[in-house]
Amino acid sequence: MKSKKSKILFVTYFYPPLGGAGLPGAQRSVKFVKYLKNYDLTVLTVKEKDYPTNAVLNFGKELPVNNEKIYRTTFKNVFDYVLIVRKQLHKLIGNVDPDQSSDGNYAANEPIKSSQERHRSIWQRVKDYIYDLCNFPDYASGWIIPAVIEGRRIAKEQKFDVILATGMPWSALVIAWILHRLSCAKLVVDFRDPWVGNPFDTSKGWLLDRIRGSLERRIVADAALVSANTTVLKDEFITRYTGKVDTRKFMVLPNGFDPDDFNDLVDTELQNSGAPIPQLLLAHAGYLYGRRDPALILEAIRYLEKAGMASADSFRFVQIGNIHLEYDFHERYRDLVKRGVVVDLGTFPFEECLNILKSSDVLLLIQPGTKSQVPSKLYDYLCLNRPILTMTPLDGALGDLIRENEFGDLFSPEDVPGIATRLNELLREKQEKGGLWADYLLRDRFDIRHIVASLEQRMDEILIAPESA
């Protein structure tokens, strides 16, 4: 038992948590703070005005949540200064941008045109590289210097015992690591996603990829405790760092649900009238981007209609959150949008999002292309007592979790006929029973209060452990 509360500096970029693209989400950062009861907490974050322009701040609850002190710093995007310097140079020496021609007429001389196009291509690659460099390790890189300055100042005043950071963005981990190196505080880092080897990331070139790997190694080596949100991610760390660090420092800290979030939910009808909705309502909450594509659900609905098993009008796919796919989603499925089969609701505050999900029949998890990640929305789904239909690699972290805990139906992303058959079964079941319900007996394993308690126990252990040589 500690005689007094130890002090933690918690470095996290979004505080309050994001709405919109991040919904429904486990709101991991704020839940850590809420339930770390035996610590004196200080949060280092960014000013809300400096959040990304597409960020939706609709947390809907009061801060602080646990008497935490909150320090907000500014954000300085280095690339903005590069553009300012470039603009001033243009004023001084004229327009020397190779992206622009001197006379605007190349048609009469094809060899000259090709040369200039090659020149522009090289210049564009240079500008892209400068942009990537200025936004390394991620979009939050402009927060690193202001946060380190402010963090160093308050660390001198408060003498923190632990510096805890969660990522992504990975800039938060870099800030915490620097502050750890400048102090005597133990470093604890929390990986909500893979940093190295993330299938949703694109390469920024050999040099920046090498630097990213080196940064992760240094941070992991210096950390007293490293948490991963899935067993698969923890195993990846152990494989990568066996023989290089003490692998006992790695622990699994899954996302979870907060029972408090579900105390006052009410059903929200997804149509204007109060009459029962005859369609099978399929709801997905969260950002659709990259490989996280709902096409397999919509193609399954088309499959049923083409096979004469059920009309597409018997279903309604409801999307809550932003859509940014590699194609025009609304154009590709224009026919289903017009028929009311596809409904894009946009973003909602967290609690309202949960209300809409509670009014649905089936909740969807779409996680192809990765074996190490588990969408945090799963844990909120568990408390809504609705069937969950998951599409993900069967041998990945999410597939294992669904199967081992019996959290609904599991399908490979390629199994459109199987998904279609299950949708048809659920439609018939709703027509017979008037509604669909589920009860997940093992969900208490993911009560966020228990998860945070395990983090607290491990932090207590590292605080009394002697410094390693």
* Series of mean pLDDT values for 10-residue runs along the chain (469 residues): 80 77 61 94 90 63 90 79 56 53 40 50 68 77 94 96 94 97 96 80 76 93 95 93 95 92 68 66 92 95 97 96 93 96 88 88 92 86 95 93 96 96 97 93 94 96 73
Per-residue pLDDT, 201: 65
Q: Cα separation of 462 and 186, whole Å?
A: 8
Q: How far is CA 444 from the centre of its chain?
A: 23
Give which of 423, 438, 268 is closest to 357, Cα–Cα: 268
- Which uninterrupted H or E stretch holds 331? helix 329-332
> What's the CATH superfamily of 6-76+138-256+448-464?
Glycogen Phosphorylase B; (3.40.50.2000)
Per-residue b/e over 385-424, b at no fewer than 16 CB within 10 Å? ebbbbbbbbbebbbbbbbeebebbbbbbbebbeebbbbbb
> Where do you find CATH 3.40.50.2000 in the chain?
6-76+138-256+448-464, 259-445
Per-residue pLDDT, 289: 87
Q: Cα separation of 222 and 228, whole Å?
A: 16
Q: How far is CA 363 from the centre of its chain?
A: 18
Answer positive or negative: Cα dihedral of 202, 205, 209, 211: negative
Task: Indicate the DSSP class of residue 446.
Answer: G
The structure tokens 């009008």 sit at: 313
pTM score: 0.78
- Whether omega for the bond prior to residue 17 falls within 30 degrees of 0, making it cis, is no
- The fold of 259-445 is Rossmann fold (3.40.50)
Beta bridge partners of 163: 9, 187
Cα–Cα distances in angstroms (integers) from residue 392 to residues 24, 126, 373, 415, in the given order: 19, 38, 10, 10
Residue spans of beta strands (DSSP E) within 136-185: 162-167
Which distant-in-sequence residues (6+ apart) come within 8 Å of 100 by Cβ?
none
